[in-house]
Amino acid sequence: MTNMNWQSYVRGVLALMILSLAVACTTQHEPAQPSLTPSAVAPPPMMPAAPQTRAHTSKAVRASYQGDAYAGHRTASGERYDPKALTAASSTLPIGSSVMVTNPATGRSVKVRINDRGPNVRGRSLDLSKHAAEEIGITKQGVARVNVKRVESNPQPPQGSSSSVAPKS
């Protein structure tokens, strides 16, 4: 094949490909839509309501606590950190959920509400408020293995938060 014939052949193939592409783009086949009258629409199937709370198994995690230095700082929930409150920070549990935290070394437990994200330290899963840490006896060691069991699966916004909508008067 000579150089001139080869160039003509390539141009012809390219022209055929462009023409095929243009035809394919302009002819779209839409599937036929069945005509639905309002009386022919079936109501959505009824699904059983999910339970508000479920039994959760206990999970062993490493926990630390936040001291007084963070008092007044904003948490992920929007409220201010209060070292005297029974709250905690978790990177996995939903904000607003409640968990029972038990120190197996002392046998003491405390119920806390998740209101923040953290801790941001590798190997730790829970950051308790100072009061919660005192309740279960981990303030001396600072970090301890604890058992965590979710007791409320249905997260609720904190009382007095800006996420609640007040009725207009």
Q: Give this prediction's pTM.
A: 0.59
Q: How many domains does the chain have?
A: 1
In a domain, 39, yes or no: no
In a domain, 12, yes or no: no
In a domain, 79, yes or no: yes
Report percent pLDDT > 90 for the chain: 52
In a domain, 127, yes or no: yes
User: The tokens of 154 are what?
Assistant: 């249905």
CATH of the domain at 133: 2.40.40.10
Q: If pLDDT is split at 50, 70 and 90, which confidence band does 101 have?
A: very high
- What is the per-residue pLDDT for 153? 64
- What is the per-residue pLDDT for 21? 74
User: Residue 46 burial (CB < 10 Å; 0-12/13-18/19+)?
Assistant: exposed
Q: If pLDDT is split at 50, 70 and 90, which confidence band does 148 have?
A: very high
Task: Report the C-alpha dihedral over residues 53, 56, 58, 63, rounded to 10 degrees.
Answer: -50
- What is the per-residue pLDDT for 86? 96
Residue 59 or residue 24, greater confidence: 59
User: Is the distance from CB of 73 to CB of 66 less than 8 angstroms?
Assistant: no
For residues 52-74, average pLDDT: 83
In a domain, 20, yes or no: no
In a domain, 137, yes or no: yes
Beta strand extents in the chain (DSSP E only): 59-65, 87-90, 98-103, 108-116, 126-128, 144-152
Q: Which of 55, 57, 61 is nearest to 118 (CA)?
A: 61
In a domain, 26, yes or no: no
- What is the per-residue pLDDT for 96? 93
> Does residue 20 surpass a pLDDT of 60?
yes
Q: If pLDDT is split at 50, 70 and 90, which confidence band does 7 have?
A: confident
In a domain, 44, yes or no: no
* Domain enclosing residue 63, as ranges: 59-152
Question: How do residues 30-55 score in pLDDT, each as one tens digit?
Answer: 555 555 544 555 555 554 444 444 55
**Using CA atoms, how far apart are residues 147 and 62, in angstroms rounded to an integer?**
9
Residue 130 or residue 19, greater confidence: 130
**Using CA atoms, how far apart are residues 93 and 103, in angstroms rounded to an integer?**
19
